[in-house]
Structure 1
Amino acid sequence: MQLTIDRTLPVPLRSQLHGLIEYGISCGELAPGETLPSVRELAETLGVAPMTVAQVYADLKAAGLVETRPGAGTFVSERQQRPAPPVGELSMLYGKIDALIEQSRKLGMRSADLMALIGGRVSQGSARDGRRRILMVGLFRDATESYARFIADHLGPDAIVEPATVSALENDPALRARAGTADLVVTFVNKQQQVEALLPDTRVVAIRFTPSQDTRQALAALDSLARIAAVSRFPEFLPILKSGVTRFAPHVADVIADTLDSPDLAAMISKATVLVFATGAEDVLAEIAPDMPGIEYRHSPDTADIERIILPALRLAGQAPRPGQADHLQSDLLEKEAT
């Protein structure tokens, strides 16, 4: 991916650069292990101060998205390729076992009776449902549901994929407790640290998300004389959105972009014939004429990462589902969010 600054965008240069790299990693534009330009090289290429690049690199490193290797340079972190080890999982389990043993002694139970009781409960649970339970954590409700269905379609009936949003996990302790019992949690690369902090005793892995086939086809089918207005909720995502639109609709020369809360939004839309809105910016649909086409710039989970990251993590959890079979189970997690 070539890192370029678009000075026509209403986004500060530092935010642009941060967004280009952060979302470039999350959206598969920058591969794990890929070398990034040096601070001086990138500063000269973009025409910005070296301090700006250094600050962006430092922020991305703190977020776990890039890593520096002495004498070698800065690289896209490869942590998302490896299933994260269960942080604190065993210590928490040991504590529960100790408490259970102490409680059984107070009840006068023999060790053999306790072992038999535990063995019976484990057998019952395995017989009742041997499927692995996966939690897909995203940002927006509808999009996260679609991600969960997409992953379920690729994993088959041996796995249940449930959706939940970051905000719901943050605000609902009961939902967070239930989410913590999942065999595996899947999220975006740039949200992995945040989700790990919310679910510290659960294995969390991150996968990449690429523009969906529907999005690519809709942009490719646009008339070359179209005037596109591209809208994002997040300023940092605007550079990726605009570059993606121009990549999938290279025949359209007139592309302007702005954020959802921009005071110039209505004026920009009035000059356009087609609206392209990033997931999460659906509110902009209320600003357009009924006959104006609207295309959602939506992403889908990277199928290669499902095979390379999710399946091995499930095997570590004790059982790998059979790929290629559909599973459209509904989640009570999102029902919980709606109440």
Structure 2
Amino acid sequence: MGVRIAIPTFSFETSAGLMFNFILNKNLPIGAQAQLEGYIEFGIMSGYFWHQPQLPSVRELAAQLDISQATVSKAYENLKKKSLIYTLPGKGVFVHQPTLESERQQSIESLKGDFRSLIQRSRSLNIDPILFIHLFDEGVKPIKLDKKVAWVGNATRVNEKYIRELEKLVDIQPKIDNFSFDEFSSYSNKSDYGLILTIPHCVSKVEGMLSGTPILAPYLVPSPVVIQHLKEMKRNSKILMVSAYQNFIPVMMEGVNVYLNEDYEITSIFVDDLVSEMNRQTYDVIIYSSGCFDTIKKINLSESIVFEYDHIPAYEYLQGIAIPALYKMTCEHRAEKEK
């Protein structure tokens, strides 16, 4: 079934000044409630809600999308059960954020103000602000961890990509450990870890396994390979999007919306239907979510351009939140030992 990329139905501006779109597409193989949940998870994963903005009210969202308030309420309730959002009585609905991130973000905003003042002062003294870049480069030193750090996610194969992106920016010794959720859940020495890294929409899952260990959840952006594939897509290509989970279909659709410059016909299916769909017709391009990786490997798709719709941690987050947190943790542990 062909799906034409939808026009955003309702947009609102986040506190970070980003426009976030709620898109309901009646041609997708999931209903309005699942699409709403998927789009909010997409926003969390992609950093639109990094500054913890307030979500639209149930009444406002239902009116703008021309759906029932009950549909919006059910979507919000499911997201609350996953601990992705929460309600403040009398104030509204907000996106959940790890405490460490919130504190770190407040510190960053304060430092930004100080740095702007420093730049203004340097200009008044006829000193080029480029000097500060060189000073920062000189200050980047290897991080020697006194307490272990782990990355916990859906699959160790995907986690390894995320860890490599962090290691491109700073040398970390010893290496960050890599766990799937199932592996970490059964791991008996979780208290050995001074910091856990995970993905934004899985924070509550990790919090349930821990007792006070700090968590960071870098928001994700499409990998350079994905962006290149989308930008180079030939006009009028027949595209098949394959997802392992229903709430990831809106994530993929929104990501494709950002980078495709033409009006393409797209078919969206679940991975369980892939074989029957390929027997029915052929596609020029197949885009699959990371959860489909094992299934895709077993199927001969040599006649199509095939690529994984994968993500990497955002550079801004790694530089502004994760690396400073690792430095701070190391310094605090060393200070404790010296007491």
Same fold (TM over 0.5): yes
Deviation at 1:82, TM superposition (A): 3.0
Mapped contact 2:238–2:285 kept (Cα < 8 A): yes
Mapped contact 2:42–2:250 kept (Cα < 8 A): no
Determine which of 24, 29, 52 is the counterpart of 2:43.
24
Mean alpha-carbon deviation: is it higher for 255-264 or for 222-231? 255-264
- Give the TM-score, by structure 2 length: 0.72
Q: State the partner residue of 1:82.
A: 102
Determine which of 42, 65, 68 is the counterpart of 1:49.
68
In the alignment, the residues of structure 2 paired with residue 269 and residue 239 of structure 1 have an alpha-carbon distance, to the nearest angstrom, of 24
Compare CA radii of gyration and give the structure with the larger one.
1
**Aligned positions, number:** 272
In the alignment, the residues of structure 2 paired with residue 289 and residue 183 of structure 1 have an alpha-carbon distance, to the nearest angstrom, of 44
Counterpart code for 1:4:
I
Q: State the partner residue of 1:152.
A: 167
Q: What does residue range 157-168 of structure 1 map to in structure 2 within 5 Å?
A: 157-158=172-173, 160-168=175-183
Mapped contact 1:83–1:313 kept (Cα < 8 A): no
Mapped contact 2:284–2:303 kept (Cα < 8 A): no
In the alignment, the residues of structure 1 paired with residue 229 and residue 302 of structure 2 have an alpha-carbon distance, to the nearest angstrom, of 18
Mapped contact 1:220–1:249 kept (Cα < 8 A): yes
Q: What does residue range 70-109 of structure 1 map to in structure 2 within 5 Å?
A: 70-79=89-98, 81-82=101-102
TM-superposition CA deviations, 1:314-336 (whole Å, max 9, x none) = 2442339xxxxxxxxxxxxxxxx
Counterpart code for 1:303:
Y
Q: What does residue range 185-200 of structure 1 map to in structure 2 within 5 Å?
A: 185-200=196-211
1:141 aligns with 2:156: yes
Q: What does residue range 1-339 of structure 1 map to in structure 2 within 5 Å?
A: 1-79=20-98, 81-82=101-102, 130=145, 133-158=148-173, 160-170=175-185, 173=186, 176-262=187-273, 266-267=277-278, 270-282=281-293, 283-319=295-331
Counterpart code for 2:238:
R
CA 1:154 to 1:168, structure 2 compared with 1: closer, same or farther past 3 Å? same
Counterpart code for 1:82:
S
CA 1:75 to 1:257, structure 2 compared with 1: closer, same or farther past 3 Å? same
CA 1:59 to 1:298, structure 2 compared with 1: closer, same or farther past 3 Å? same
Mapped contact 1:183–1:314 kept (Cα < 8 A): no
RMSD: 2.5
In the alignment, the residues of structure 2 paired with residue 14 and residue 59 of structure 1 have an alpha-carbon distance, to the nearest angstrom, of 10
CA 1:201 to 1:177, structure 2 compared with 1: closer, same or farther past 3 Å? farther
Secondary structure of 1:224's aligned partner: coil
- Give the TM-score, by structure 1 length: 0.72
Percent identity of the aligned residues? 24
In the alignment, the residues of structure 2 paired with residue 315 and residue 265 of structure 1 have an alpha-carbon distance, to the nearest angstrom, of 51
Mean alpha-carbon deviation: is it higher for 309-318 or for 206-215? 309-318
Mapped contact 2:240–2:287 kept (Cα < 8 A): yes
Question: Post-superposition, which runs of at least 4 consecutive aligned residues in structure 1 deviate over 6 A?
Answer: none
In the alignment, the residues of structure 1 paired with residue 325 and residue 145 of structure 2 have an alpha-carbon distance, to the nearest angstrom, of 16
CA 1:65 to 1:130, structure 2 compared with 1: closer, same or farther past 3 Å? closer
Secondary structure of 1:160's aligned partner: coil
Which gives a bigger RCO, structure 1 or 2 (Cα 8 Å, sep 6+)? 1
Deviation at 1:140, TM superposition (A): 1.6
Mapped contact 1:131–1:158 kept (Cα < 8 A): no
In the alignment, the residues of structure 2 paired with residue 268 and residue 133 of structure 1 have an alpha-carbon distance, to the nearest angstrom, of 49
